[in-house]
Amino acid sequence: MKATLTVLGSGTSMGVPTIGCQCAVCKSSDPHDRRTRPSILIEYNGKAVLIDTTPDFREQAIREGMRQLDAVLYTHGHADHVLGLDDVRPLSYHRPNKIPLYARPEVGALLRNMFRYIFDANYKFGGLAQVELHTIDGPVELFGANFVPVKVMHGDAEIIGFRFGKAAYLTDFSSIPEESFAQLHDLDILFLDALRHTPHPTHSTVENSLKIVERVKPKQTFFTHICHDLPHEATNATLPPHVRLSYDGMKLEFEI
């Protein structure tokens, strides 16, 4: 079936502009150079599925006019991917059920600990996010589409991205284990971490991700988790036409 993917945020953990930074990208007037923390929204079959709840979720949801949220999938527990969980509150009311959150066990434990006030729920004045944690250890079927975890290495940590239909979203990784490549065949859309040009212990670079593109051969690739080293327009001018930097608010149609 048809699905729409919206890039809610395309920036690295500190966002771009970065607080206090005076560099050309942080001071750029090009709206593509304004990058909130990394997350995507996938809409299909009348439902809305979110990957990660960033500290910018409130601003992202307002910008995109979000009126509905039916499930959240988590890639890992880093602050830039989870801290906006509380801001799903307005979307979690007036629903027949709680919004399900899907995370691997260690990420679920972290969320439970970080947001104890939500899950312990002994706060008697209302106003808590109506969410329910589900731990996953494999594919999840949501509203007729299959979301398959793809294991990636994020520095020393094994975390996940997701494959769904003809698209895959790998937001934070430094390398992709050999067995995960088998899940990345026949893709129309691939999102890859491409922090900057300079090597980083836990993130991929433009050069490393271009090598992955050559191997996987998706129809289109979009880089994400971008830091302030990469000006949007100038960087795109150096990339092959089927590879682009993603940007906040970018929308794509695909088959899920």
Residues at the site binding Zn ion, with contacts judged by CB under 5 A: 13, 18, 21, 23, 26, 78, 80, 172, 228
Give dist(CA 227, CA 14) in Å, integer: 8
- Phi (first) and psi of residue 42, to 5 degrees: -120, 125
Minimum distance, C-beta of residue 8 to Zn ion, in the bound complex (Å): 13
29 contact partners, CB below 8 Å, separation of at least 6: none
- Phi (first) and psi of residue 189, to 5 degrees: -135, 130
Amino acid at residue number 16: V
> Which one, 149 or 165, has the nearer CB to Zn ion?
149
Minimum distance, C-beta of residue 103 to Zn ion, in the bound complex (Å): 14
> Which one, 145 or 170, has the nearer CB to Zn ion?
170
> Which one, 43 or 172, has the nearer CB to Zn ion?
172
> Which one, 15 or 165, has the nearer CB to Zn ion?
15
> Which one, 26 or 148, has the nearer CB to Zn ion?
26
Minimum distance, C-beta of residue 4 to Zn ion, in the bound complex (Å): 23
Per-residue exposure over 210-240, b if at least 16 CB sit within 10 Å of its own CB, e if not: bebbeebebebbbbbbbbbbbbbeebbeebe
Give dist(CA 56, CA 33) in Å, integer: 16
Minimum distance, C-beta of residue 67 to Zn ion, in the bound complex (Å): 27
- Phi (first) and psi of residue 63, to 5 degrees: -60, -40
Minimum distance, C-beta of residue 12 to Zn ion, in the bound complex (Å): 7
Give dist(CA 149, CA 140) in Å, integer: 8
Minimum distance, C-beta of residue 81 to Zn ion, in the bound complex (Å): 6
> Which one, 27 or 251, has the nearer CB to Zn ion?
27
